[in-house]
Amino acid sequence: MTSEEIYRKLEPIIKTYLPEDISAKEINRSSDLTRELNINSAHLVDIILDIEDVFNIEFKNEDMEQLRNVNDAILLIQQKISI
Amino acid sequence: MKKRVVITGLGVVAPNGVGIPAFSEAIKKGISGIKFFPELRDLNFSCQLGAMPIISEEKKREYLSDLQLRNFNSSGILYGVIAGMDALKDAKIEVAKPEDEPLWDLGIIFGTGTSGIEKFREAIYRIDDKNVRRLGSTSVAQTMTSGVSAYLGGLIGAGNMVTANSSACATGTEALLMGYEHIVNGKAKYMLCGSTSDSGPYIWGGFDAMKVTTYKYNDSPGEVAGPMSAEASGFVPGSGAGAYLLESLESAQERGATIYAEILGGAVNNGGQRGGGSMSAPNSKAIQKCITDALKNSDVTGEEIDYINGHLTATIKDPDEIENWSIALNRNGDEFPYINSLKGMVGHCLAACGSIEIVSAILQLHEGFIFPNVNCENLHPEISYLIASEKIPTKFQKKSLQIIAKASFGFGDVNACAIFKKN
């Protein structure tokens, strides 16, 4: 799966957790999920669970520590898919 | 100087009406929210009746965002949020905007028995399946007792004390009195108080097992013998939420707010599970003391009470409650005040009963009427021996009321009694 294909599936997942005052247009590959997109940090676990369901993969605790922005998520997903 | 406290907003999510206009009309007409639930039959419940508010998906979305409703499975929090936000709106108080400071003068005391029991069930299945990592982020918020006050606190931006009390069936009345004390002592200007209770078999099952619910009317939910009737054979479990916005009198007058009633005072006590009291049965002496203490704190005499909104559950304990009121007020026969119980229409809403019933009591006081005590054609003989039957109206009556009493009693031998005055 190319990073573009992953991004297209990832964007709607992230969009779900945006606070009301942040528009989906603000999502880009370098967006920091909690600092720039203002996603409540508690929702990072929900984003992970949704990604697991959509991509049929499973994350470890250590993986979650690496997740800061959209690109991190894409890289993590690519690694998991290729295993 | 003690502050005087008034009620300036009401909200309700009851099995026979969601929102004050629908609920008010339902209680005047004696409309019941009690229904047969096939699910309870399939689960082998003795009592297959229940009383549950009906909330459309559309209505949910008026109060909670799509994100908040994602994996949301807590009926009690939903009911509490709707009732609480309605009470705030009714009082014409604006929530804090996202960029504003919290409302430091507004607190919340909103209680429950158990929170999000359906969500808890989901979580337990996942955990036992060795899948705790799949619980998601909202299991805690939906199952903690303070879930309902926390959801409300966030929606409103409350900056004063935000907490949830829990005292079984006295929860709603206790919440009102705790909020009242907070304002009396000058610690807050506004207190949003109330209580809520989840719906469904997992909250109702324990009562079914105790045989305190009725098994006799599964085929005729419209005919369940009401509170104080000779045939009363147990309650129908209910659910919902009631809410009231309490405010200092001076603040209400400054704002020109609609004042539904003044809270004159009240009392909360415990029978200590002594003297006939137990986990599930009340100590009568404690009930009488709670009522007389409430009168004393409110600076009124038993003679001044025009109407009582009873706890009266349609169990064998109803005659005892009447006797306790009669002794505490030192009134009987024709001299006894009017009395009724909402439970014939909405069932026993457990942790939410006190708050839904307080809303019904305040509406009667404010508008001047007494709702019918339904399905009570044959008054229990021990009750008709104590008080005149016309004091328990079975039909709607217009009646100007000045001072009224509300009491709730619950498991753990808890008692709470509040006194209200028409403004």
Task: Check CB contact under 8 Å for B137 and A43.
Answer: yes
Q: Which of B66, B98, B136 sits opposite A49 (nearest CB)?
A: B136
Interface of A with B in 14-53 (CB under 8 A): 16-17, 20-21, 42-43, 45-46, 49
Chain B hits for A46, CB-CB cut-off 8 Å, are 70-71, 136-138
Chain B hits for A20, CB-CB cut-off 8 Å, are 65
**Is the confidence at residue B348, as pLDDT, over 90?**
yes
- Closest-CA distance of chain B to residue A51, Å: 12
Is A83 an interface residue toward B (CB < 8 Å)?
no
Can you tell me the distance from the alpha carbon of B343 to that of B356, in angstroms, rounded to the nearest whole number? Answer: 10
> Which residues sit opposite B420 in a β-bridge?
B263, B404
pLDDT in tens, chain A (83 residues): 899 999 999 999 999 999 988 999 999 999 999 999 999 999 999 999 999 999 999 999 999 888 999 999 999 999 999 86
Q: Which of A21, A42, A46 sits opposite B98 (nearest CB)?
A: A21
B232, with CB counted inside 10 A (0-12, 13-18, 19+), is buried
What range does the domain containing A10 cover? Answer: 3-82
Q: Which of A16, A21, A45 sits opposite B136 (nearest CB)?
A: A45
For residue A40, the chain B residue with the least C-alpha distance is: B137
**Using only C-alpha atoms, what is the Rg of chain B?**
20
Q: Concatenate the DSSP letters of all residues of B186-231 into one string.
A: TS-SEEEEEEEE--SHHHHHHHHHTT-B--TTTT-GGGPPPTTBTT
For residue A48, the chain B residue with the least C-alpha distance is: B136
**Three-class secondary structure of residue B367 per DSSP:** helix
Domain count, chain A: 1
Segment B272-302, tens digit of pLDDT: 999 999 999 999 999 999 999 999 999 999 9
CA A14 to chain centre: 6
Segment B62-87, tens digit of pLDDT: 999 999 999 999 999 999 999 999 99
> Can you give the residue ranges of every domain in chain B?
1-423
Side chain identity at residue B224, one-letter code: V
Can you tell me the distance from the alpha carbon of A14 to that of B296, in angstroms, rounded to the nearest whole number? Answer: 59
Q: What is the CATH number of the domain that holds A32?
A: 1.10.1200.10
B20, with CB counted inside 10 A (0-12, 13-18, 19+), is buried
Task: Check CB contact under 8 Å for B136 and A20.
Answer: no
Q: Concatenate the DSSP letters of all residues of B52-101 into one string.
A: -----HHHHHHHS-HHHHTT---HHHHHHHHHHHHHHHHTT-PPPPTTSP
Q: State the average pLDDT over residues B166-192.
A: 98
B1-423 CATH fold: Peroxisomal Thiolase; Chain A, domain 1 (3.40.47)
Q: Which of A20, A43, A45 sits opposite B65 (nearest CB)?
A: A20
